[in-house]
Structure 1
């Protein structure tokens, strides 16, 4: 699986949070948590490709109550960063945070979230015991990196465990730059083709991932709800937004050139024109959130 830096994850997290808040009205997560918890003392949650824990920080307050999370990632540096990145969030949320070997715990007046940090290579066949002991399986910004076969295998494992699934921030292929420039479409076409390269899971689904997952899960008897969770990045909003736009321009250009090296001259020209007007640029990137539950 390709590596992601903690810096990139920190840069994108505010835009992820805003996008997921827009999609959140479509999902009754507290009601979902109550149903999944049932008579058990805690809701068990499996977070795949957790990075530095952004998905936990987003979902734990919305699920509420007592929770036990297993955070899985292949990168030990990202796992090691979870406590430090989460500490300011915990303070802002009025939660105390304690750490222990292999995990941490957040506790407040009405909630307790126990967290196990687990290193695991998700490109290998998934250990059936992982979804088997969790009532909710979740991931953020993962589905578009994986293959149809990988999603199919996870869907079957989750169904066997009677677990619900919540996938956030899967790209859906839409991107809108304003003001538009010549070659926007050309760069986006090459970037989208690059997204479908093998990231270690087989040929990636890219913008088709959410719909593939929805179809597959529906065929297994899941009730599937989707909601748009688009990024809205506006260079007029200040330095952080400008930095995000710069990362998007440079990342798209690098991927497009890697996809078609012969196109490098015009892509570099596009890059220069885009970078020259970041503070006057907006970008909307299409994403989908998907919740699948069994009746």
Structure 2
């Protein structure tokens, strides 16, 4: 996967960590405890945010296969993980992190996930993880993920899937229209084909249940307060770019909306919420 810069991944990381549904994390930890040491396949791993969020919580012995198509992001994993480990009081030696109650080895694996999942290394893997991925994939790709998990008896934890809920405070008269343009863009053609976009969480829930998995979901919304200017600015820029690609004939309206939203952000009066859904699918 990924078309995202390490700067963007670093900016969003604290919002991701705060947003993850705690009840699902508790259930995932309980499942891991019952299964002892496990291998974990992290799809679209980026710089390793899922490992940093989950490894201390899951505890025990873990082997993480970090799969992404971007060699620059894979190369950055040891540095990002080493700095995180030092700040958190863990120890990183070589390709392994050890902390209070857990040990996690890292195995970077370059893979074009959009081309399929058949050739991924699955030896010892019991859990598939992904963050902010499912809304980018097609229905066919999602079906292949569910089939992979079904055939190999793998659990799946897919976090931070955009689910179509967006709101701003204060409200602007064009917010709803810009939201609609963004969602149209999210359903467009991505690297994985026609993207599920805001329909992904419901589609994944239905697909895993139909395959016999026990599925639990929870909300993992980003909540941005007035002081979260950098994140709001970054998201606003993304919304504007998406809207312009869908409706270039409305460039003037889109620019005026951008200016009003930027004024509110700069004035310290803007708050923003982005709705996400976390999913945990356990094999029956």
**If the TM-score is normalised by the length of the shorter chain, which range does it land in?**
over 0.9
Q: Give the match's secondary structure for 1:68.
A: strand
User: What is the deviation of 1:200?
Assistant: 1.4
Residue 204 of structure 1 pairs with residue 200 of structure 2 = no
Residues 214 and 281, structure 2, Cα contact 8 Å, conserved in 1:
yes
How many residue pairs end up in the alignment? 281
TM-score by length of 1: 0.92
Alignment partner, residue 22 of structure 2: 24
Partner of 1:245 in structure 2?
A: 232
Counterparts of residues 86-235 of structure 1 (less than 5 Å):
86-99=81-94, 104-131=95-122, 133-235=124-226
Give deviations 1:199-252, integer Å, cap 9, x for gaps: 1111000011011011011011100000000000112x3xxx101000111110
Question: Unmatched 5+ residue regions in structure 1?
Answer: none
8 Å contact from structure 1 (residues 253, 271) kept in 2: yes
- 2:276 aligned with 1:287: yes
d(CA) in 1 for partners of 2:124, 2:203:
25
Instruction: Specify the alignment match of 1:35 in structure 2.
Output: 34
Structure 2 regions of 5+ residues with no counterpart?
none
- TM-score after normalising by structure 2: 0.96
- 1:128 Cα deviation from its structure 2 partner: 4.9
Over aligned residue pairs, what C-alpha RMSD do you find?
Answer: 1.3
The separation in 2 between residues aligned to 1:280 and 1:117, in whole angstroms, is 42
1:7 paired to 2:2: no
User: Conserved in 2, the CA contact under 8 Å of 1:132 and 1:161?
Assistant: no
